[in-house]
Amino acid sequence: MTHENKFGMFIHWGTYALTGVQEQVYARMDWSREKYEALMHAFNPVKYDPEKWVLLAKEAGMEYICFTTKHHDGFCMWDTKYTDYNIMHTPYGKDVLKMLADACRKHGMKLSLYYSNPDWHHPYGYNPASTHQWKAVMSNDIDNGIYREYVKDQITELLTNYGEIYTFYWDIPPKVYDPSLNELVRKLQPGIFINDRGYDKGDFSTPEREYRTTEGTRFTRMTEACNSVGEQSWGYRSNEDFFSKRYLTTSIDRMMAMGGSYLLNVGPDANGEIPEEYASRIRRVGDWYRRMEGCLVCHESDPFDYKVRKGNPIVNIKDGKSYFHFYEGTVSSSVALRYFPKLPKRVRLLNTGKDLNAAIEALPEYFQAGIAQTHLHITGIPIDDLSDEPIVIEIEW
């Protein structure tokens, strides 16, 4: 995703927000169908203001929002005519997706749509080939083809009534091959990107949570990684275990430096607000991300072998400059390059925006045959002040 890699906001929101537990509370806490599906009659997010969501994303430097139109519970967060189990039949009674699409369009934010393949409400939603079927409506006469026609009807609504859609995010691979679904997506939204969790291969892969690649330092196909600000839930959780800024920014820097996009998720509460404990974490991550000055998007891999001492950064080129991503930080207040094209014109620490000292000199710690080796020695990194974020160094040769 080298020239399409972006930073975005993932939003998991549905009636499950009323529980303050998790987006899959219905299955994981083994609620009865009657108890769980009755939540729709209490769902009334009167404080929902999608412009606040969009402006929070923009403040963090994000370029798109991916919204959960339907999660595994089958509840639909838009005005669909194919089931009454939707937002229009709640006390709120408004098309929240339409409101979000309008807010995105107003503020120049791209909109992506998430759609769950498992459906625990549809009578033919059960798919024995797939996972996450725990609360499906079982039937002795299983016909997943009927369900796929329902899916086609719904994605036709989603991709017709809400303007231009950036990406389509299927969730939970159905392990059923039916290319007609992605063909329909492309017909309705030419130029859209489709992920790899649907009914055929798709355009991009979707590693989730913590992910280590065996591909080296560059993705070989379009990739979109994702994680949530919280460990226990993607939807709103009232007593969430939050990840540290260090953990999240390390992940974002590594995945985006490898050429991927990154979705950072929040779960709005039942009132329709992103709670401050969630929003503040988006802002802190966004503060670091904006200081990276765009170096994490639209870059190419730097082929030069610098042999960096005491570090294994991902190194990219953009606009004629090299960017060294020390996503796990640096060992000391300096960086030493054994090989380098020439003395740099300028070396800058993006975290602070300040110049660093750089000199070609022999370093006594590194020697061969009793003689110190010459390195490009970059010094003055305030590592103790930057212990909670990745370090990125810009070199203009």
Look up the pTM and report it.
0.96
Decide: residue 218, CB within 10 A, 0-12 exposed, 13-18 middle, 19+ buried: middle
Residues 208-228 have a mean pLDDT of: 82
| pLDDT band, residue 214 (cuts 50/70/90) | low
Residues 307-319 have a mean pLDDT of: 94
| Comparison of pLDDT for 306 and 3, the residue scoring more | 306
What per-residue confidence (pLDDT) applies to 216?
A: 62
| pLDDT band, residue 142 (cuts 50/70/90) | confident
Q: Angle, nearest 10°, between helix axes 276-291 and 245-257?
A: 40
Residues 23-46 have a mean pLDDT of: 98
Amino acid at 354: K
Q: What HEC string does 376-397 produce?
A: EEEECCCHHHHCCCCEEEEEEC
What per-residue confidence (pLDDT) applies to 381?
A: 98
What per-residue confidence (pLDDT) applies to 288?
A: 98
| pLDDT band, residue 143 (cuts 50/70/90) | confident
Specify the pairing of strand 7-11 against strand 261-266: parallel
What per-residue confidence (pLDDT) applies to 209?
A: 86
* Sheet with 314-318: strands ordered across: 300-301, 314-318, 321-326, 391-396, 346-349, 354-355
| pLDDT band, residue 17 (cuts 50/70/90) | very high
pLDDT single digits (tens) 328-385? 999 999 999 999 999 999 999 999 999 999 999 999 998 888 888 999 999 999 999 9
What per-residue confidence (pLDDT) applies to 215?
A: 54
pLDDT single digits (tens) 383-392? 999 999 999 9
pLDDT single digits (tens) 52-96? 999 999 999 999 999 999 999 999 999 999 999 999 999 999 999
Q: What is d(CA 186, CA 206) in angstroms, rounded to the nearest whole number?
A: 19
What per-residue confidence (pLDDT) applies to 384?
A: 96
DSSP state of 47: T
pLDDT single digits (tens) 154-175? 999 999 999 999 999 999 999 9
Q: What is d(CA 66, CA 56) in angstroms, rounded to the nearest whole number?
A: 14
List of domains in the chain: 7-291 (3.20.20.80), 300-396 (2.60.40.1180)
DSSP state of 341: S
What per-residue confidence (pLDDT) applies to 1?
A: 43
